[in-house]
Amino acid sequence: MITRAGWGLAAASVLVYAAGAPFGYAQVAVLAAAGLAAVGAGALWTLRGAGLEVRREVAPVKVARGEPAVAVLHLRNTGRWRRSGLVARDTCRDTTVSVEVPSLARHTARTVSYRLPTRRRGETPVGPLLLERTDPFGLSRRSIAYGRADMLLVRPRTVPLASLNSGRRRNVDGLASRSAPAGASSFKGLREYVIGDDLRHVHWRSTARTGVLMVKELTDVNLPSTVTVLDTRTSAYEGDDEFELAVDVVASAACAVTRDRFPVRVFTGAGELVHAKGAPGEDEEVLDRLAVVERSDAAESPLHALRRAGSGGALVLVSGTFAALADAAAVRRRFDQVLFVRVGEPSEGGVPQAAGVTVIEAGDLEELAAAWPR
């Protein structure tokens, strides 16, 4: 393809010839012919086969919002001539990333890496990759597509938080357990050993003191459970930044629970998004699901989601408006602990309060971590 510079040179050559030819200037004809010849030579230069092997890798394929993600190009010159003037252009959502490729001698390979934009959360197609080749004078350009688009998943950011203490019956040992089966048992008392008891439950101090083999008697307790609700109504937020922060808050609250192997349910204005039951690795599923959540004019209010959330445990409701505080207050008696988080700039009228509801105002994740109950 002829570039703007090439078309400009061709037009100038024609004008020069048209202006000088009637006066019989031979030099004008030479200059015009040279200009047109340069444009033609540039076109022939770029029409020549590229003779390149190109492979791209995206690492990592899942990344938190704002964290670095890199594309790595592996290029090899399989032709007989040195390749130069190459520019790689990759498309990442609405952003085009350009990187110059070093000159490649025959039968040599190079690796080029470049950063990908990760400011926006969601499934981000990377590519297709275009390799542009220009002639030495920039008069002609040729673009060749290599491979297909790769997928980069930009997930919410998280900050470490403590699991909320909830459950109808508290474990006297606290929330130290990191597995659901162990977390479902609590110490009740001591009794004498009987044949068939698990020797791992022997209480050696009492056995040494009494001279009788004593074992710990355990009883089942309710696992601390959490319900998180994300307000996805478009009208609840002033802009995209506030909504992204709200998703980060929900991700942080939910992952604090799943990483301790306790159950959590995540709701949005479209219904239940994910129900983690305390199995290992479920925090990854929570982040993957939250990565693709979007605002919607058709989203239901948080109160509709809370009607399907059951009762018991802790509730975390996140919104960009204090108007949703009334929804949290309306169901406070159904939960052991209710937490309302309003994201965005500090309100001028102060932070409203509601009986039985802990209210937090967070302008970023650091403020959330500082105000989070411990």
Q: What is the pLDDT of residues 222-271, one digit of tens each?
A: 567 899 999 999 999 999 999 999 999 999 999 999 998 889 999 999 99
Residue 77 CA from chain centroid, whole number? 35
Whether 309 and 335 map to the same domain: the answer is yes
Q: Are residues 9 and 75 in the same domain?
A: no
Closest Cα partner for 85 from 114, 48, 119?
A: 48
> Whole-model pTM?
0.74
In a domain, 175, yes or no: no
337-343 and 358-362 beta bridge pairing: parallel
DSSP for 244-265, please give it: HHHHHHHHHHHHHHHTTT--EE
The pLDDT score that the predictor gives to residue 245 is 96
Residues 118 and 139 in one domain: yes
Q: Does residue 230 sit in the same domain as residue 343?
A: yes
Q: Which 3 state secondary structure label does DSSP give 43?
A: helix
Tokens at 361, concatenated: 């105002």
CA dist list (Å): 51 to 46, 100, 246, 252, 301:
12, 17, 49, 49, 58
CA–CA distance, 128 with 130 (Å, rounded to integer): 6
Please choose, from the candidates 237, 225, 251, 255, the residue with its C-alpha nearest in 3D space to the C-alpha of residue 322. 237
Same domain, 204 and 137: no
Within this chain, do residues 231 and 272 fall inside the same structural domain, yes or no?
yes
195 and 256 fall within a common domain: no
Compute φ and ψ for 8, nearest 5 degrees.
-65, -40
The confidence score (pLDDT) of residue 84 equals 75
Q: In terms of domains, do 246 and 321 share one?
A: yes
- What is the spatial distance between Cα 321 and Cα 230, in angstroms, rounded to a whole number? 12
Per-residue pLDDT band at 136 (split at 50, 70, 90): low
Of 255, 28, 21, give the one whose Cα is nearest residue 159: 255
Q: Which domain range does residue 131 map to?
A: 52-155
Residue written as token pair 């609840």: 236
Average pLDDT, the chain: 84
Return the pLDDT at 83: 76
pLDDT at 3: 67
Q: Which residues of 297-328 are buried (b: 16+ CB within 10 A; e: fewer)?
A: eebbbbeebbeebeebbbbbbbbbbbbbbebb
Give the residue among 307, 271, 262, 313 at the shortest CA–CA distance from 289.
Answer: 271
Based on the fold, state whether residues 114 and 25 are members of the same structural domain: no
pLDDT category at 24 given cuts 50, 70, 90 is low
Domain count, the chain: 4
